[in-house]
Chains A and B, each alone.
Chain A
């Protein structure tokens, strides 16, 4: 199933694939009455690439991320992920409330089998990476939503995965914080070279961050458009180029949504 690929410490192969989804279908429920969440979806993400996925409700984004993260198995087709397990970030930080921020990060290292001595230094380093020095001793409820999401990011990085999957990670944050976290995530991506597959409802956010944007259809989910984003970085959310591209992609997305109105029962 999984692609045999070099670990991240080795040089990346430009022609390789970090994520490879081939002809994947996923059905829920018993055969006959089952619901098709994904139908023969195929997509690939190159190592170090930042790909955003947008789609209306019911496009099976979360299902797809679960499959790539190995939390679920496809009904048919193949899912390949470069290196070890993919890290997954949720819309909510999903930090463990009984552990401090630092301990949350440490648990990821511990579950990976990192030794005690090494863990301490690594936690400090990762907390620094997300710019939360001095907050490692705080409990999740003592942090803001944005800070919690950064701890979750540090915890995901602690998994040492080549691939970072993000399921609307900034959806619940206020605009100012989200804007800052876009900068932060971009910087992290540029310095670590991690591969990112980022799911969002927000088309502008996708244009702000992605090298490429995949538009998914709904019920069942399929990739219906693939927009390369050539606007140079750093991009601003409010720049005219971003706005123009976002408008084009939104139009494409609306077409997909309208398609469902046609098949809805007439009065």
Chain B
């Protein structure tokens, strides 16, 4: 290492230091930080307004008597039913069963998706061979897998997990690939100049640089997993596993529209929470870190 020998004229030296410090101070962008309360409010009110609008439309449709109320009940009784179903535990049990399936299926899809994405990104021939196949799998509606899955695994948990994995893994792999493809070549070159080779390149440069695309793929993978799971729970009804899908199905058979809508609200809310709280935060953190947030967003 070139070691520093501090010998220089103090006068001009001090001048340069002051100049640099001055220009640095001027160059640092000023960022007025809005208060936490105002930030929370500006994030919250559009969502509240949207919910309000949705409820208003729903209520209006009911008032217009488009359908009888035993088929399409108004929001009030549905929310009362939601609260009571949650309170007596049936809806919570169902949510728990469904969520557990989602987590297990998604975790397996992550492992497979990342492994596949890494392998395809690393080996060119594998990419030529599998690249379009992965995209093809991604566009295949997951419900189309169920007949085969049921033949293979009968009406079991494995059937549902199988379809979740097939739905989510290609999206995750593709997102990862997309992330790798969009790494600025300059960063790869910089890594090479710094002496990164082989595994170190992947660990220190490629993986972190691919994160934005990867998170987008993970998010899409989650959406596919959640959809596949719901389709699966309607088709594959397993005794003693009263999942959210089973509740939907039974509520329809019993013409219990309030219970049906209450379960649907739970499904929707879970989807929103996972997307906004988990993936939304992850995306926000990455964009903030990378400086990709504009002051408008």
Contacts and interface: CB of A to CB of B under 8 A. Distances in A.
Interface of A: 8-9, 69, 71, 85, 87-88, 90, 92, 94-99, 107-108, 110-112, 125, 129, 131-132, 135, 139-147, 155, 157, 159-160, 176-177, 180, 183-184, 187, 190-194, 234
B195 A97 contact: no
A14 B156 CA distance: 79
Interface stretch (B21-29, B79-87, B124-132): B21-29
Given A71-B193, A191-B8, A98 B208 contact: yes
A141 to B, nearest CB: 2
Contact of B187 (A87, A88, A96, A131): A96
A111 B204 contact: yes
Contact of A98 (B7, B190, B193, B211): B211
B289 A139 contact: yes
B19 A98 contact: no
Contact of A97 (B7, B16, B17, B290): B290
Given A90-B190, A146-B27, A98 B290 contact: yes
B12 interface: yes
A111 B195 contact: yes
Nearest to B291: A141
Nearest to A150: B20
5 contacts: A69-B193, A96-B209, A142-B28, A147-B24, A180-B19
B208 A96 contact: yes
A131 B186 contact: no
Contacts of B29: 142
A194 B196 contact: no
Contacts of A140: 291
B200 interface: yes
Nearest to A66: B189
Contacts of B195: 85, 108, 111-112, 159
Contacts, number: 108
Contact of B24 (A85, A90, A144): A144
Contact of A183 (B16, B286, B289): B16
A92 B8 contact: no
A88 B205 CA distance: 17
B63 to A, nearest CB: 52
Contacts of B192: 71
Give the interface residue-count category, chain B.
Answer: 35 or more
A72 B6 CA distance: 37
A191 B205 contact: no
Given A97-B289, A141-B291, A157-B1, A131 B17 contact: yes
Contact of A88 (B24, B193, B290): B193
A111 B211 contact: no
Given A90-B189, A94-B189, 18 more contacts: A69-B193, A88-B193, A90-B190, A96-B208, A97-B290, A98-B208, A99-B208, A107-B204, A125-B4, A129-B4, A139-B290, A144-B23, A144-B27, A155-B194, A177-B23, A180-B16, A180-B19, A191-B4
B196 A96 contact: no
B32 interface: no
Contacts of A129: 4
Contact of B291 (A85, A99, A139, A145): A139
B44 to A, nearest CB: 27
Contacts of A69: 193
Contacts of B23: 144, 146, 176-177, 180
A159 B290 contact: no
A261 to B, nearest CB: 33
Which of B16, B21, B193 has the most A CB atoms < 10 Å from its CB? B193
B5 interface: yes
B3 interface: yes
A94 B290 contact: no
Contacts of A98: 208-209, 211, 286, 289-290
A129 B1 CA distance: 13
A139 to B, nearest CB: 6
- The 10 tightest CB contacts between A and B, nearest first, are A141-B291, A192-B2, A144-B27, A94-B190, A97-B290, A160-B1, A98-B208, A88-B193, A111-B195, A194-B2
Interface in B169-223: 186-187, 189-190, 192-196, 200, 204-205, 208-209, 211
A97 to B, nearest CB: 4
Nearest to B186: A94
